[in-house]
Structure formats: structure tokens, C-alpha cells
Structure 1
Amino acid sequence: MEFDVVIVGAGPSGLSTACKLMQMAQEKDQELMVCVVEKGSEVGAHILSGAVLEPRSMNELFPDWKERGAPLNTPVNGDDIYLLNSSEKGIKLPGFAVPKTMHNDGNYIVSMGNVCRWLAEQAEGMGVEIFPGFPAQDVIYEDGKVAGIITGDMGLDAEGNQKDSYMPGMELRAKYTVFAEGCRGHLGKELISKFNLDADKQPQHYGIGFKEIWDIDPELHQEGLVVHTAGWPLEGDTTGGGYLYHAENNQVFVGLIIDLNYSNPHLSPFDEFQKLKHHPKFSQYLKGGKRVSYGARAIAKGGFNSLPKMTMPGAVLVGCDAGTINFAKIKGNHTAMKSGMLAGETIFNAIAGGDEGGNDLTAYTDNFKASWLYDELYNTRNFGAVMHKLGTFLGGAYNTLDQNFFGGKLPFNFSDNSYDHESLKLASECAVINYAKPDGVLSFDKLSSVFLSNTNHEEEQPCHLKLADMNIPISVNLAKFAEPAQRYCPAGVYEIEEDEAGEKKFVINSQNCIHCKTCDIKDPSQNITWVTPEGTGGPNYPNM
């Protein structure tokens, strides 16, 4: 099938690209064929975000979004930040002691899954074709250019043989292909390497973000209240922070983000999150409530200094596939949307001007540099590196000074040139962390959590977690690092089993995978590559 533009991923950046393309086509009365492929079973099924949405991009894309019924229903009306200094205590920080980038006046607490469903409705209403359940598995290259994508085969058994239900993947060809896969997209990763897009850039850095939705006692609910925390339970060189957002319908969104440059291989990010919910600042709202959803997702947080070149012959990287998140705001949805809108504008102008495709759209870089998105990311370029180098307290103090008094224009550039997977120390050098057994009230185990994510993969399909060397998990990772995949995975995918003879075996429970991509990032041997499973596989988040 041939299109003018193929977009990979129905997240905020991909759908904003599609909407902007069609808006401009309608304004110029030009016919345009645009297709969006989405690996989830439906639009929004794989979307996981806090989320507090800054509406700047939405205001630009759809100025009448309120009249159109966009699901931005809960304006922020309270904004508290606590420094947790123990499992029982915390200090509320005054506004002047917090980087102004973290203030949320004028923002909305939203389900980004529902926002993306709404964006998809707008796109389809303008003629965009959206194909959920069709993962982009491979890139079509012709004459050194991107010419489209190939969707994944369906109906293969674990050995790759065709079953009765076999359906081959489709070639979707385009003048231009937009890659909007989200953080650590497997095709984006391939393209960055193939076209050397990250030359002279600092390595991308990542966090793992957890989220649960709880129904709570209406008397405890404070709709519109946003709470962020730093400090406990994270210790030493482990950085990150917690959040609790009071959404509509007596629900709260609760979560924890942990930077993936932590050094202790015994650390379990999932169990750190379970600990956090026992702190009084969280438990005061959750006790007596009911957990109704769970998920986790990697977050690209390197910021401006880690942005790759976003164009190549025939294609553009947008959103978290490129790493456009502004972690100084703990927000990436408005920036992802803007990057997609810039891509849509650039591609339309090229095609409308007679471009037959396959070129390196350097005009996108010019448009990016002329936009508020560039200024926003540039002015927060040091935020993450400072936190990594100076720690939560000194780093936080520097960032507050830089953002509140100098607008991000202090004449210093901090670098962070280490890769997150290189940060692990030997297990023998680190203290073993003994986590309390979950109580089933505030804290839970991985398997019951995965159940709430509605994760499902077609049985008897090829494993989508590829090992470059089958021996490394035991011979290297277990021997040196106590095989941290058992702990950094938030879904219980990886296990070490031992038979009666004492022989150890690395087991991959790929059916549990919630597509967070942490293993692809944190494996110390870089032995695991995440690729797309069969269509519709993975979590089915209702409103994350």
C-alpha cells in the first residue's frame, strides 16, 4: 500500500503529526493520504503517562478543543512538593525553593490514553487511516533512503513456522515516514544507529516510571491536587521522585520514577514503588481505596543535550522516539505534540511544493530551532546532568537557582557522558536489599500487578525479547551482577531457575511483558533487544 505519509505510533506525537498534516491539506484544498500504524490493540492501549498536561500544544493544534470535547476535565488547583526524609516524615517545600518549571498553574490532570483516543477521532474525521494492532517491524530502505515500513507477520509459532492463521506483514510505502514509537522505539534505535544521528551527542538517559490508578474514599479526594515527592525511599546515588495526582471520579494516579543510572544491582524499582505507597503522604489517601490499574514504562530523560539529529533521507523522528521530553517539568506530552506538529508542517510544505519524497528534510531542523520547543528544551538542558552529578539536594538547589533567577541561561554546560547500563557496580560490592513482603493492601507483587495491566500475547509466537548470546545471562550477568533483569523488570519476565543438579537456567516469560523497554536499556551486557511482538500483544490500558 502506498501513502504520502506513514506514521509509526498512535501516541501524542504521531497523532499530532497526522492532525497537522490534514489541517494544512484542508486549508490548501490538497488531497493527502496519511496512515498511522499502532502496535496496541486500540489507540491508547499502550499509552502510559502520569499525567499533568500543559495545554500549550493543544491550544495551537485545536484552539477549540473545549468545544470539541477534549478530555481535559481536571484543572490543577493545588501543587505540593515534599522532600521525604524518612519512611514517616516529609517537609513541604515553599514555592521559591522549587524550580518554576515544576509549577503547574494552568495545567490539567489527564489520562493520556483518553487524550490520544480523542486525537485519533479528530485525525480520522479529517481522513487519516489508523490501523491498530499492526506493529511496524522493519524499515524499508531503498538507495540509502527510508521508503516506508513493513508490518509484522502474524500467525507464527515459537520457532517461526507458519501456523494455519498465518498472515504476512504488509509493505506500507510512503514519500515520508514519521517514527513516533515512544521511548526507546526499536526502529528509532535502529535508525539512530544506521544514520549515525547521535554523533557528537551525549548518551540518552532514561528512567522507569510506574503508575497505578486507585479508587479512593470520596471524603479523601481533592480533585485537582498535584503532589510530587523527592527523597525516600530512594537512597545514595539512586535518584527520582514520586507523584500523586487527584484526577476526576474520585480517582488518584500514583507513581514513582527512578533514574536508570542507579548502581546497586540488588535494587528493584518495582519494590521501591511499593514501599513509597506506605509513606503517610501517600497512604493517607490510599488506605481504604482500591487499586484498579497498573503499568510501567521507560522514559527518555536526557533532554536537549541527548537529542539526536531528527531527520534522515525519507524519515523524521518525533516525540519520545527522539527524546523531546522536558524532564525539568516532568512533562513530555506537550513537547511530543509540538515536535509532531512541526513534522506535519514541514512534510506538508515539502509535498505541496512538489517534493517526491526520500529527501533529508533539513527544514524540520530549521523549524525546530525557530520554535518555542527548542527554547524550552535548551533552557533546561542542564537539569538532568546536574541531578546526576550533584545529587538530589545540591542538584535541586542549582536547578532552582538556574530556572527561577536566570531562566535557564546560566553560562554553564554540564555533561553526562556515561550510559545508564554502565552504571551498575558488581553485586559483591553492594548491599543486598531485603524488601518487605507486600501486604495486599497498599503494596502488591508483580504478577497480580501485571494482571491489572490486562497484558496478553498470542500464545506460541516467536519471543520478542532477543538475546544476542544465550550464555551471557548466566556466565556474565549472574556471576557479576546477580542477574539484575530479575529485579529491574517490572513484570516478572526474567527469572533464574535451578534444576535438581544445581544447573542454572535463564527463563524469559515473554507473555508477561508490558513493553516498558527497561531490559533493552539497563541490561549491563546490552545483550537484550526488544522488538515488536505479534500485533495487539502487550498491555491493554483502559485509561492510563
Structure 2
Amino acid sequence: MTKETMEYDVVIVGGGPAGLSAACRIKQSASAAGQDISVCLVEKGSEIGAHILSGAVIEDRALKELFPDWKARGAPLNVAVKHDDIYFLTTQKRSIKAPHWAIPRTMHNQGNYIISLGSLCRWLAEQAEELGVEIYPGFTAAEYILEDGVIKGIITGDMGVSHNGQPKDEYVPGMELRAKYTVFSEGCRGHLGKRLMAEFKLDEGKDPQHFSLGIKELWDIDPAKHQEGLVLHGTGWPLMGSSTAGGFFLYHTENNQAVVGLFTDLSYSNPHLSPFNEFQRLKHHPVLKQYLQGGKRVSYGARAAAKGGINCLPKMTFPGGLLIGCDAGTLNFAKIKGVHTGMKSGMIAAEEIVNALSSGRVHDEITEFTTTFEASWAYQELQRSRNFAPAMHKFGVFGGAAFNFIDQNILPVPFTLHDTTPDHTELKPAAKSPQIDYPKPDGKLSFSRLDSVFISNVNHAEDQPCHLKLKDASIPLSVNLPKWDEPAQRYCPAGVYEIVEDENGKRFQINSQNCVHCKTCDIKDPSQNITWVTPEGAGGPNYPNM
């Protein structure tokens, strides 16, 4: 069946902060130049913000450049950071609060705001539509259009296909959205971004990207315990006991709510480790428990984050398109922030696209982006923080903290550290790794994975092809189970993967309905046997204001 075709000047994949900033800036720059540039943005979530999950504390630098009057426009930056503490959890009961003078400068949050990134993206979408951007939520970018070595748009996913690949009565074929330039801003480990890196060798000569899994919950807490504007970060227990890097956050937002979460580096080596269960027991530590006890959990979600920094940043241009934001890996791990740098990458891409179209160029490689980006404050910020993540991996929590304190606060080191071991290769055999005995959830501070998935409002249309593809269906039982006790059972924060045993023996079960689109399986599977692709449009979580 021939697919319907629509043509635009620019197609943007992904309704996160980078993609929406690019859309807004294209329209702003085109208007200033007296041009009419058509822009289409597609978002796989049921609405803008449905799949957005981040801490989040934001620097407003990029937002001020995009909309200098953001306050008058009603941008949802309502809670300024008032107090900022960092803790080292020494045991499950004890902690040490770091003095402010000992904290790397990059981790200070004075002048920043605690936000819901989903709410900010919804606001950015309103601004984009007012500027004339066409936004289509609920549509996946299933494929890119590659002709003669040039990206010429995308193909949206078919709707109404059964699990065996046959059209159902409600079948609607995907569309070709053709563009002079296509911008990919799918977020961390975008499935097309991953393929584009291989197609155009964008990450050749770079350190392999490194990732963390971020798990987050939104809580209504006791008003007597609420301190609007309080920011807590920390590291140590319980991950320290597993020789695993990572850290927690707890932010007091508005309306007597708080957000709490844990980032677990996906370079961990013990296949018995469960990031989800580490997070659940973390909440029982007195530093967090003092605020959460007596409260009610409202929402849950999870998302991988690219934390490798500039050493892992791929080439971001190729014929006909650009890769921006977390799709490329622009998060500044030293600041635990990626919104402002992602937005800036999108704004620079937008300006260079408008310049190219103004001069009559179409479908070529906008190499000027690289020069402009490398001259920007965003790139300089990433360059300044280039050693942060490698130092934590090489020297551990204490050694890495000491190195980064010197590098960020006293004297910048004149060399660059590298971390060249991919995360998925770090797992040790299960037989040589200590078992981890996780306590049962109490239903008050800690919960089961299935109870957690329920409040993520996740949903996928029934009877559709599984979007978690196995290259070899035999590997989970023949390789991963005997060697690593099939770690997918534990690294997935949504209970998607199970080893089920019945009268017919053992089988590997994929509960794709549970998937919250965190992409951890695509990253951490030690056999690199799982590929995450987009499910039917509008499927996945529906986060309220995460």
C-alpha cells in the first residue's frame, strides 16, 4: 500500500526540551528573516509531556535566550531553589552532610528552579504552536527516509497491526513526512539516533557513551514536613555496598509535593543488583524517610540518561539532518543537568537550519552547526566538566569526589580522563558475584514493581507487535541465564522481563505492556540482544507532571 506523503521544510522527531526549543527558534529566526518555514514536530507520547521524566532542577540560561519574557508568558518555573544540601550516606542509618565549601562548584544550585519537565514541555509546545509549528502527538517516527546517502524525512508507524504483523480492521498505515532537514531529538538512546550513529559513523573515535538509570517518584507529603525550594542530593549507601556508583535526589516542589529518585550507573558489575530495589530501600534511610513518612506516593517512572559527557559526544550532523539534545548526549553530569544544554543545542541547530534554507541549501550537511556549537557556552560547559564522570568511575566515590573538587574548585587539570569500557561489558558472572537480599516492600515507603508500574499510567494497545526485539530468541536461556542469571529480570524497573518455569520447562517472557520506555534493556543487556523500537503511537507511560 502506498503511503501518503506530506512535505515540510523541517521535521522534528521528539517533543522534549531540545526538539521544542528547536521548533520555536526556527520560527523565531525565520520570522526575523522574513521567511515562512514550515515545521512539523512528531511526539510518540499520547500528549506532549506524557513521556517526559527528569529530576528536575533547571538553569534558566537557555530559556532566557529563547523567551526573554518567559515569566510574563507564564513558564512553569514557580519554585526557586532556597536551600541546597549534599549528603554522603555512610550506612543504612547514618550520614554525613557535606559542608558547602567542599562541594564542587558545578553542583551548587543557587539561582536555579525546581520544575516538572513535563509541564515545561507542555508550555513550550504552546509557544511553538502560537508561532505556527504543527505538533502531532501520538505519532511515532518508526523509520527514517534514507535516499542516496541523505536523510529526507521520516516514516510514522503503522497503527492497528496485530502481534503477528497482520493489519487489523482499524489499520491505518504510516505516513511519509518528507523534509529538507530532519532534526532527531528523541531523548536518551533514541532508537533512530542509535541507528543514525551507526549509519553515518557519528561516534567513530569517541569514547563509548555511558548511562545511568534514573528512577523517580512524585509524593504528596505532610505539610508540616514540606520545605518548598529545598534540594537534597547524595550518594553512598545502598549502592556503595554493591561497589556501584550513583546518587539520589529529593526536591521539595510546590503544593506540598516532593520528588525523590535514584540514579544508578549502568556500569555496575553485579548481575544480582536491582536498581529498582536499591531505590526502594534507599527511601527508608532517615535522610529521606523524615520527609516521606506519612506521605502518599502519586506517580512513578524511570528513564535512562546519557552521562558520558563531551568525551562521548558524537558528531551531530549528517546529510539532511542533525542529532540534538539527549539523543546526542548533551547532559552535563557534573551539574546533574541536561535541560539547558539540550535546549541550547536545539536552538543552535535551528539557527543554522534557517541560515541554510535562506541560502537555498537543502538536504546537505550543515557542518556550520559544529563550529557554532563548539563556540557556545553549552559546549564550553561540557568541556569544563569532561573529567567528572570518568573520575568517579576510575577513582570511586571518595577519590572521584576529591579529584573533582580540585578540578572544579581549585585548579583545572590540564589533561582528559577517558572511560573506554562500555557499560554492557561490565557484568561479572553470577557465580562470582554476591547475592543481594532485598527486603520486602512495606507498602508505605517501599513498593513492588507492579504497583509502581500501575501508577505510571502505562498502557499499550493490545494485540500489537512486541516492541522489544530479540536478535536471537535463544540467548536469554542459553547464554544470559547460565552466565549472568538473566539480569533483565532485575535491571528492568518495570517487570517487563521474566524467567517463567512450568511443566514445559523454562521460558523467557516479555511483558511488553509494562514497558515505561526507559531503554535500560537496550543499553545493559550483556549480549546486546535486545533492541528497543517504538511501539504503536501513544503507547507507554502517561506521566502527569514528572
TM-score category (smaller protein): over 0.9
2:487 is the alignment partner of 1:484: yes
For residue 28 of structure 2, the aligned residue among 23, 31, 37 is: 23
Equivalent-residue separation in structure 1 for 2:404 and 2:108 (angstroms):
14
1:156-203, CA deviations, whole angstroms, 9 ceiling, x for partnerless residues? Answer: 000010000000000000000000000000000000001000011000
Check if 1:412 corresponds to 2:415.
Answer: yes
Corresponding position: 1:85 with 2:90: yes
Aligned match of 1:447: 450
Shift of 1:27: 1.2
Letter aligned with residue 410 of structure 1: V
Task: Give the letter for the 1:298 counterpart.
Answer: A
1:142-541 equivalences in 2 (<5 Å): 142-235=147-240, 236-355=242-361, 357-406=362-411, 409-501=412-504, 503-541=505-543
- How big is each residue's C-alpha offset from its partner over 1:114-156, in whole Å with a ceiling of 9 and x where there is no partner? 0000000000000000000001000100110000000000000
Quick check: 1:115 aligned with 2:120? yes
- Candidates 28, 32, 41, aligned match of 1:36: 41
The CA distance in 2 between the partners of 1:300 and 1:401, in whole Å, is: 24
C-alpha offsets along residues 366-394 of structure 1, whole Å, 9 cap, x if unaligned? 11011001100001001101100100110
What residue is the counterpart of 2:3 in the other structure? none
Q: In the comparison of the two structures, how many residue pairs are matched?
A: 540
Q: What is the CA-CA distance between 1:516 and the residue it aligns to?
A: 0.1
| Aligned partner of residue 164 in structure 1, secondary structure | strand
C-alpha distance in 1 between matches for 2:153 and 2:35: 22
* Cα distance between partner residues in 1 of 2:273 and 2:379: 36
Structure 1: distance between partners of 2:536 and 2:18:
23
Superposition deviation, residue 289 in structure 1: 0.3
Shift of 1:34: 0.1
Q: Any idea what SS the aligned residue of 2:9 has? A: strand
Q: Which amino acid aligns with 1:293?
A: S
| Stretches of 4+ aligned residues off by more than 3 angstroms | none
SS of the equivalent of 1:35 reads: strand
Alpha-carbon shift at residue 396 of structure 1 (Å): 0.7
Unaligned runs of 5+ in 2: 1-5
| Partner SS for 1:68 | coil
For 1:21, give the aligned amino acid. I
**Residues in 1 aligned to 2:379 and 2:442: alpha-carbon distance in whole angstroms:** 46
- Secondary structure of the structure 2 residue equivalent to 1:220: coil
User: Any idea what SS the aligned residue of 2:41 has?
Assistant: strand
Secondary structure at the residue paired with 2:213?
strand
Using the size of structure 2 for normalisation, the TM-score is 0.98
Query: For residues 476-510 of structure 1, what are the alpha-carbon distances to aligned partners after superposition, in whole Å with 9 as ceiling and x for unaligned?
Result: 00010000000000000000011125x11000000
Q: CA deviation at 1:26?
A: 1.4
- Please list the CA deviations of residues 487-541 of structure 1 after superposition, one character each: whole Å capped at 9, or x if unmatched: 000000000011125x110000000000000000000000000000000000000
Please tell me whether residue 96 in structure 1 is matched to residue 101 in structure 2. yes
CA distance in structure 1 between the aligned counterparts of 2:419 and 2:156, rounded to whole angstroms: 36
Give SS of 2:239's match.
Answer: coil
User: 1:246 corresponds to which letter in structure 2?
Assistant: H
Q: What TM-score does the superposition give when structure 1 sets the normalisation length?
A: 0.99
d(CA) in 2 for partners of 1:204, 1:158:
33
CA positional deviation for 1:237: 2.8
Deviations 1:335-383 (A, max 9, x none): 110000000011011101111x111110000110110011000010011
Give the drift of 1:224: 0.1
Tell me which amino acid in the other structure corresponds to 1:508.
I
Counterpart residue identity of residue 464, structure 2: Q
C-alpha separation in 2, matches of 1:477 and 1:245:
38
CA distance in structure 1 between the aligned counterparts of 2:155 and 2:466, rounded to whole angstroms: 19
Q: Distance in 2 between matches of 1:542 and 1:300?
A: 23
What is the rounded CA distance, in whole Å, between the counterparts of 1:237 and 1:381 in structure 2?
A: 23
Amino acid of the residue matched to residue 426 of structure 1?
A: P
Structure 1 portions without partners, runs of 5+: none
Q: What is the distance in 1 between the residues matched to 2:473 and 2:239?
A: 33
**One of 3, 23, 31 as aligned partner of 2:8:** 3
Find the partner of 1:49 among 41, 54, 57: 54
Counterpart code for 1:519: C
Q: Please give the secondary structure, in 1, of the residue aligned with 2:219.
A: strand
